[in-house]
Amino acid sequence: MFKEGDEFTIEGASLKIETGKAVCIHSLPTLLHFSMALREGADPVELGLAKEGNKAYLRCPDPGEPYTNGGGVIFEIERVD
């Protein structure tokens, strides 16, 4: 479903994606939980989501092969002001 370089944006309560693209619902709970904390100014390093810098890294909770056909996606989250 995802390809390296795919992007989407969370603005307020809206999830903005390119026409024809999709966001896997398995990733949403993790992404939304931490995105809201980051939006409010939480430090990715203090949250344990990065070793350094202002970007956070999260993995989709879908376990992937051999259990499902998905999984394995790592998301890079960056706050854009």
Q: What DSSP state is assigned to residue 34?
A: H
Q: Residue 3 has what pLDDT?
A: 78
Residue 66's pLDDT is 92
Strands 55-59 and 14-17: unpaired
Q: Taking all residues of the chain, what is their mean pLDDT, rounded to a whole number?
A: 89
Say yes or no to pLDDT of 18 above 90.
Answer: no
Q: Residue 67's domain spans which residues?
A: 25-78
**Among 24, 47, 21, which residue's Cα sits nearest to residue 35?**
47
Q: Choose among 27, 19, 39: nearest CA to 73.
A: 27
- 46-71 per-position pLDDT tens digit: 999 999 999 999 998 888 899 988 88
Residue 6 belongs to some domain of the structure = no
Whether 4 maps to a domain, the answer reads: no
DSSP-derived letter for residue 51 is S
Instruction: Give CA angle at 10 (81, 67), nearest 5°.
Output: 135
- Please say whether the beta carbons of 55 and 34 come within 8 A: no
Q: Would 40 be classed as within a structural domain?
A: yes
Domain assignment of residue 71, yes or no: yes
Overall domain count for the chain:
1
